[in-house]
Structure formats: C-alpha cells, structure tokens
Chains A and B, each alone.
Chain A
C-alpha cells in the first residue's frame, strides 16, 4: 500500500472515531466549540506522530515471548512521552504550550493514541509507514472532532426541547455522523481506493 492509500484509509474509511470508535471520550468532551476542538486535534496530531515513532522503537526492544507486555509498555511509554513533551514545550516554546498545553494531559491515556501504536505493530508497518499512519489517524480524529464541533455549535442556537439538550442530542448526532462515514466503507478494494484518491484530487 502506498502512503497515499494509508492516508485516505485512515482519515476517511477507517476513521478512528467514527468507524473504529476509538477516542470517543475527547470526541464528546472537547467538541463544544470549534477552537477547542482544533486545539485538541493539533495536540493529538503532535502526540500521535511522536508516539507512533517512539513505540515502534520500543517494540524492537520486546524480546520474543514477551510480546504480551506490549500494551503495558506502550501505555507507560506514551504517558512518559507526553509528560516529557509537555515540560520541554513549556520551557522552549511557551506560545505552543499555551495553545496545546491544556490538552496534552488529556491525551496521556487516550485510547486512540494507544490504538494507533498497537495497530502499527499488528499491521506490520515499517517505521515510515507507521509514522504516516499515526499522523493520518490523528488527522482523521481531528476531522471528526471539527465536524462534530461545527454541528454542536449550530445546535446550541436552535431551540431544542429540553429533554434532548446536551449529551442526549450529542450522542444522537454522533451516531448519525458515524453512519454517514460508513458510506466510505463502500471503497473496499485497492482499485476503488485509488479511484477515490483521484476523486478527491490526491491521485
């Protein structure tokens, strides 16, 4: 698979949030406003690419017979990595820290980040493919978050009945959004994927 196909597949067809249901917690929690959704999305892209690269190295350390420690080791790595990044960022780039800082601790134990690192290994990607897939998955996460935040911002201004306000209508519209994305799973074969790539102007 070319990098382009990895990208399209991770962003649209196997969207982490809307198709694989990973990272639902920030999807519902940080989607009130488009600005916060964008901040969260940028932080996730940053952390996922880093985590994808670093955990690829950690996997090489796991001796045969001890692969079952993978999940544990990855969680430990991601948590430590996010902490280190937060501290370094605060020192070296206070502006970037102000933009992403409050979201970084939220990502520490995000299942989407863990999910992408585990999928990297399961699909036997090489290093570059793993990094591309991590970034693409995060872009897909950001896309879903932004779409949902846009919908919720509009819904705030409509006079909804009280019994569906807030989380209730949030879950309903998340479900509808997810169903809409399921249409992308019609692109099953590699040929179809290439057609789709041409369609969106990337091929």
Chain B
C-alpha cells in the first residue's frame, strides 16, 4: 500500500516540477504578440484560401494588424468579416457586392467535341500545354477538373467533364487562377444573366467548333434596353468596366471581341438571353425552370 503512495507522490512531484519549469519558461520566454493579430485571426473564416493575396489567414491577419493591407481583402468573409476587422482596427470600409465564380463556357458535350484523345496526365494544365488542349475550341473548357481540385471550399462539382459551381462558392478566385483557359471568372453573386463564351475565333471558325459559340453578331448589344452590354474591342474597355466596381477580375480576363454585361446598369430583364441566336447568353431563371438535373459523377 505504501508503495502505491510513494509511486503517486513521486510522479506527482515530477509533474509539479515539470509544471513549475513550464510556467517559468513560458513567463521568461514569452513572445509579445499584438492582440489585434489574434482578434483579426479569430474574425477570419480560417480557410487559408489565399484570395486576399497573403499566405493564409494568419499571414493576412499579421498584415492587417501591421497596417500593410486593407481590412476588406477577405473575399470569402465578405462584408460581414470586413466590418468586424475594420471594427477591430478602428477604420471604415465601403460595402462591396459579393461575387461568385462563373464558368463562361458551355462547350461541353455535345456542343463542342474533342479534336484529339488525351491520354496524358488528366489535368487541364497539362492538356492545355499540348497544342492548346484536346477540345475543338482552343478557348473553351477542357473539363479535367483543375478548378475542382483548386477550390478550398469544395464548391465545384464535376458533372462528367462539366464543372458546376455550387452555392458553397465564396468568390475567392482560386479556381480562376488554376484554370489554364480562363473560363472561370468572378461575377456579382445572385445575378441570373450571364454571357458564357470566350472564343476569340471569327464567326466562320467558331460556328464549326461549337454549337453554343459567340458569332460576334452584336444582337445582344442592340437588344439591351439599358445599353448595359458592352462590346469589348480593346483592353481599355475592360479597364473602364472594371472601374465601375462590379468586376473584381475583369482586368485579368483578357476578353477580346466579346460582349460583357455591365452589371451596374443591368436590370436582370433577360431580353439578351432570349435574343441571342447561339444561346451563348443564359438566363439562370429560365434554365432552372426547364433543365433536367444533371447526373452527378466525379
């Protein structure tokens, strides 16, 4: 019996000894950290997606507390997080319209076809590096799911070779960076009308490549009652629209000779979608009412 007591006492003593050592060391070697860093870190979503430009949430928190980055750069967190962080830092931020990823290509089977069979590594980046990729349209989606693998929020599902952005999307833009074809872009959230083609080919060529390709007819520009559709003919147009504040990514998209909706003017009427002869402009309200559910496969 006494042995058990000795054992307990011995181990207890050892524990207390280590406890004291730990306490002394933690006092003596304490690292002073800015309490704001911890507060900002707590306010962030913690997905470490990198959309703000800093390496992870901790890096962004340190940069905000250090004053080198603005408090409204967390895209997944949106306005709510920006307000919280601004409150911690004691500065004001302006509201921005939340964004989400949109796939601006409908060239999946059977609209476009494969011009060659790809037997290499099944990533879009690898396929795109060989002769512009295996698809009939060199501007279109390859469909090997680089965007799905890049998404830190599991928001992109592959229906066969069709990427589908789900409601989990936070608009961080990681998919946009991963897509070698630039067919994923950021657009204002909750907008039903989208232009889904980015071909740079003239009508004669694009007509043969894909059933749903833009043929540069500009009917949409003429049809819009709000004059909200802009024809991009040189990079300057992109900058002007981008300055309107509704396009976080437009300056990076390199769109040329294509229509773009200015969402600052757009009233979601959907007339352009009805008029487009190539079904390049989609109205998600009409699509949701008529389309059958796609089979889910990974």
Contact = CB atoms under 8 A, between A and B. Distances in A.
Given A66-B7, A159-B121, A159-B122, A90 B15 contact: no
A65 interface: yes
A66 B30 CA distance: 36
B22 A157 contact: no
B47 to A, nearest CB: 17
Contacts of B192: none
A80 B22 CA distance: 7
B29 A76 contact: no
A65 B6 CA distance: 11
Interface string B1-44: 00100110011001100100110011001110000000000000
Contacts of B7: 66, 69
Interface residues of B, number: 18
A65 B3 contact: yes
Q: Name the prevailing secondary structure of the A interface residues.
A: helix
Contacts of B3: 65-66
Interface in A76-96: 76-77, 80, 83-84, 87-88, 90-92
A88 B26 CA distance: 8
Given A66-B6, A72-B11, A80 B21 contact: yes
A88 B29 contact: yes
B18 A69 contact: no
Given A65-B3, A66-B7, A73-B14, A91 B31 contact: yes
B122 to A, nearest CB: 6
Nearest to B19: A80
Nearest to A68: B7
Contacts of A76: 11, 14-15, 18
A83 B25 CA distance: 10
B23 to A, nearest CB: 11
Nearest to A66: B7
A159 B25 CA distance: 51
A90 B29 contact: yes
B175 to A, nearest CB: 19
B21 A84 contact: yes
A69 B8 CA distance: 10
A50 to B, nearest CB: 14
Contact of B25 (A66, A87, A162): A87
Contacts of A157: 121
A162 B298 CA distance: 10
A81 to B, nearest CB: 9
A87 B29 CA distance: 6
Contacts of B14: 73, 76-77
Interface in A20-71: 65-66, 69
Contacts of B18: 76-77, 80
Contacts of B26: 87
Nearest to A65: B3
Contacts of B121: 157, 159
A157 B125 CA distance: 13
Contacts of B31: 90-91
Contacts of B30: 91
10 contacts: A66-B7, A66-B10, A69-B10, A73-B11, A73-B14, A80-B21, A80-B22, A84-B25, A87-B22, A90-B29
Interface of A: 65-66, 69, 72-73, 76-77, 80, 83-84, 87-88, 90-92, 157, 159, 162
